[in-house]
Structure 1
């Protein structure tokens, strides 16, 4: 009888633990995002690396991201344009169009200095790499992978991983929540749910000694860890600390103003 009671208690505890875990996990879909946190205007980030703990900052870039609200083929849309500057040249530009309510991707065209161009039309379900249409007949590995991934992404709700800094402001934050985000980066691998967890809170000190309360959103993989500092008031991403391997790190810092 005593053994039975112990087993029942253990079973009950497992159910409770599973229930709490399930409540803390949010599978992100169109009903879970709030695009009202996105504002029109220009956001600029300083991006740099430290190749070891005591190394000088290196490989600086400036990422400019411009958000506008527009009409796209009869739909209310949010357009995000990015320009990445590396030293004395532009290395990447991209225009991404998303549904204004759900932030689902509608269209993206991009240019990379080393990779060339890509166009992904989610409404017409067509895609091009370097001005050549992707089709079922493609046999080259990179083209076939990109085409199969795009076909899958076109049949389900996804969020554009290339817009992660615009996706994170949309989420309903609370300590301990884990967001399973259906991320897809057009031109790359197939959509996948990625786990991002609100691990704690913190403060950043801004201009005029202003204290900014932040959520710390953490994403980890083997040999890789990201911690995003997200304003509790505005939901904007203010800082990224990205550990890569044992010693390397990458940082993104939102600039308060720039020209």
Structure 2
């Protein structure tokens, strides 16, 4: 299947590792020119080299969502691009936290980055896509917006806010050839998942291997997902073939979420 991505430009946030990197690699493999965005230029340079060694092309642009000036610079960069066909919005994840008891200043700081910051960048891309009559906005969320994940109160709450915005935006952008979707990862083999397993092990007084085994046992597929499996779903939603999919939330979780309708 030709995904129609050859020669298109994709901006991928959080591209230095994990789900963002996996998405960037898959998009590049399909012929898209990828702009890699994250905080660490050295790590991004390594991903750029990996893409180029595979025959793809990439550029690097740094951004820290916790820094308003850095966010503004990324928005200006997006506005300066000759074209932007795909935006993979990825804010990373906050530290674990139980509810109640999270301090208000923590909520404010995380909301500014994970919600307002992400919306600013999505809007910059959406304006250019609307003018061009084509675009794919794919936001990486979490299965926690369908079934809250224990000890991840901030993520569950703020990603749900982003989900409300993406759904609203999808209705406004659909007449202009721009789709807006979310991909919800379950347990994918990433550094964040490894950190969560490590924290669970410490809290329960068990080994990381035991914590991981307990987690995997709750997944019908019986294992954690591979980053490339997640990246493939993002890439399909970014394709011309996915033109009639918008306002959707696609779970990539090995069947872990038991809900029928969402």
Greater relative CO (CA pairs within 8 A, separation 6+) = 2
TM-score by length of 2: 0.27
Greater helix share, 1 or 2? Answer: 2
The TM-score, its normalising length taken from structure 1, stands at 0.27
Greater gyration radius = 1
